[in-house]
Amino acid sequence: MTREQWVKVEAVLQAALDRPAGERVSFLSEACGGDELLFKETNSLIEAYERASDFIEQPAITRDARVLLADDGGDKLGSRIGPYEILSRLGVGGMGEVYLAEDARLDRRVALKLLPAYFASDDARLRRFQREARAASALNHPNILTIHEVGESEGVYFIATEFIDGATIRELLRNHDLSLDEILDIAEQVASALAAAHAAGIVHRDIKPENIMRRGDGLVKILDFGIAKLMEPDQLEPSDDTQPSRATHTESGLVMGTVNYMSPEQARALPVDERTDIWSFGVVLYEMLGRRLPFKGETRMDTLVAILEREPAPLTNVANNYPQLAQIVETCLRKSAADRFASASDLLVELKQSKQQSAVLPSIAIHDKVEAQALPASRRFAWASLSVALILVLGTAAVMLYRRPARQSALDQPNAIAPVEKLYSQMDEAEQLAFIRDQEQHISSMMGDRPAKLNSEALQAIKKYVDQYASQRGVNGEETLAEVYARAPQYVPLIARSFGARRVPVIIGIYLPVIESAYRPCFENSIGAKGLFQFLPQTARRYGVSPEEMCDAEKMTPAAAHYMADHMAELGDDAESMTLVLLSYNTGATWVRTTLRELRDAGDYQRNFWTLFAHREELGSNFRQEGAAYVPNFFAAAIIGENPQNFGLPLPALSTLTDATPSPGPDQSGRRLATRQKVLFIFLNSQDDLTGDFRHDNS
């Protein structure tokens, strides 16, 4: 089919799906007007939609994992698409079939989306999709679904993504009331993901409850970044395929997307940018708070008219009790993109402040009892206008008074130190173990998906190193913990850029230097390993660093990121695999792979470091004495660095000090350090009674 024919198919398909199922065939016959090809292709897509729901509207990976594993995979069951073995079929829709598959290379399960042949037959569409998918796959954020691979095997184009076991926001809204705390937690994670994507020049274009999932552990994921672009008609392609476009231009006169969540500019088929995602986010936030849509009509056209011409009914309970949150929703849903939040980062700041405000207020019902419809902007009742205006005026005044000291403090110190309820040294053993358990899970989630739940033996191993750090006070010439961590902030922005560019979790890069060199850029150990990340000279040469450059953090940090990325390619990139990648930094990847094969038949086998740790007595003295300690030591260092206030360290969590600006020269780096960290170092150097210290093991 030609490009023009597919545009017709897409337009007729959208109109047909807006009608009840029983009316679609008759509508299709009338709309196609005797065009047999148009009828055949559109009808086949409608049948696919009715069999398993359209993939964009309801991602198949949102189903419960236990059901998925029992699903029938059809004739592809057991077959291979490239390196992926098909286990079962998850769903089928307008974008093709979706399967649960096993990645034989990394021993992990993925959601495998097979694109239909007609998408691949249009070269321009395929090029655009590949570019968008590559850009989306470069996103490295815990709240964004990871795209593992975009590839082709024997003429079949596929997308391999992480497999998520959780529920969509739609399912959560359908099955139970979300509390205000839950809503704000979801909103904050979604805004954080949007901020990261927009900073990379990627706009989602289809934010809605079906495309947001929450795992059982509370981690929220946005699905299908870059995928919605595939459903749009072709446009003139930019000459440079390496740069994602910040604005998505949709063909004039053709409206794409999910109607209830479209921005006014989408509804008019105008060019869109990241502010269209802010509008859609506002619709989702309104729906979570009010249990109803802000814009809804009996037909698709009625809904579009409401989006373009009407204002949503006020969320009275929210406006009365949480005026700052009501203002956030109102700002997101302003008709003009120029009047919304300028960026998702600005939105995220407001959400965090609203979350802090709600935490000090008593719990109040947020759902209105009566579901009001969206009202015409020009025909509201006068008393309603006056009451809402009064609420907003009083709320704004209260918010300004409440936030003024906080904003001033933020200007004085960009990375404020959070208050601490209890020092680690003041906790009893049960509290310390619970603290370590929770923080290990938090850090593991920053490393990747599917973090393992640790048993008491593993937690005790981490606690051993936390206790060692916390109990030492700089005697016998050893450095204190405060002295070591005080050196870290100047390197964190460089680490974040270098590791982020290689799609290596930044948390790894931040805390490797703690256990390797105590953040001493020219430290050399007894076997000749040198530098911030402790490379041997031959390893440094292999990654483009000469022996003379090993003290240069600007050279060593990108090399270390490259090294870790190579090991991730061999061992995997989910949270459990990352523990093996960490271990390989100490033992080498070959030893890790060989040892995993030896333990494969063990009854307690899981593909992570903790399986090796549990069998440490069988794995030789070298591993028992050094390798078995490496990963627990890393987690201990990260727990302290992410919770410095619990250890008496007057600095922010190191992961909050990342900087998205381009890598500066050495003199610029020094100037930025002086401006961003001056207060921090003055404060550190003035303290004589800081608790804790650091002992670096050179073995």
C-alpha–C-alpha distance, residues 491 and 320, integer Å = 46
CB 169 within 8 A of CB 222: no
Q: CA-CA distances (angstroms) from residue 579 to 447, 615, 634?
A: 9, 15, 10
**Amino acid identity for residue 100 in this structure:** L
Pair of tokens at residue 201: 């020049």
- Those residues whose C-beta lies under 8 Å from the C-beta of residue 40, and which sit 6 or more positions away, are none
Residue 281: count other Cβ atoms within 10 Å of its Cβ.
29
Count Cβ atoms below 10 Å from residue 418 Cβ, excluding itself: 13
Q: How far apart are CA 504 and CA 653, in angstroms?
A: 19
> What is the β-pairing status of strands 108-114 and 96-103?
antiparallel
Give the H/E segment covering residue 686.
none
CA distances (Å), 591 to each of 509, 627, 678, in order?
A: 22, 11, 44
Euclidean distance between CA atoms 596 and 602, whole angstroms: 10
User: Phi, psi (5° rounding) for residue 88?
Assistant: -165, 160
Residue in this structure with the two tokens 């829709």, named with its chain if needed: 93
CA distance 485 to 696: 12
Q: Return d(Cα 284, Cα 290) in angstroms, integer.
A: 10
- 206 is an active site residue: yes
Burial of 608 (0-12, 13-18, 19+ CB in 10 A): buried
Q: How far apart are CA 224 and CA 233, in angstroms?
A: 18
Quote the DSSP letter at residue 85: E
Hey, what are 164's tokens?
A: 């998520």
Residue 327: CA count within 13 A, CB half-sphere: 20
E strands present in 270-416: 310-311, 375-376
In whole angstroms, give the CA distance from residue 100 to residue 68.
8
Contact 191, 348 (CB under 8 A): yes
Spatial separation of the C-alpha atoms in residues 232 and 226, rounded to whole Å: 11
Lookup result for tokens 């203002």: 327
Strands 156-162 and 147-153, bridge-based pairing: antiparallel
| Spatial contact of 699 and 629, defined as CB atoms under 8 Å apart | no
Residue 629: other Cβ atoms inside 10 A: 21
Please state, in angstroms and rounded to a whole number, the distance separating the CA atoms of residues 146 and 158. Answer: 14
Lookup: tokens for 561: 């990121």
Max CA pair span of the chain: 91
Structure tokens that stand for 493 in this block: 């922005």
Give the H/E segment covering residue 104: none
What is the strand order of the sheet 108-114 is part of? Answer: 80-81, 84-93, 96-103, 108-114, 156-162, 147-153
Pick the catalytic residue from 54, 103, 206, 224. Answer: 206
Which residues are tagged catalytic? 206
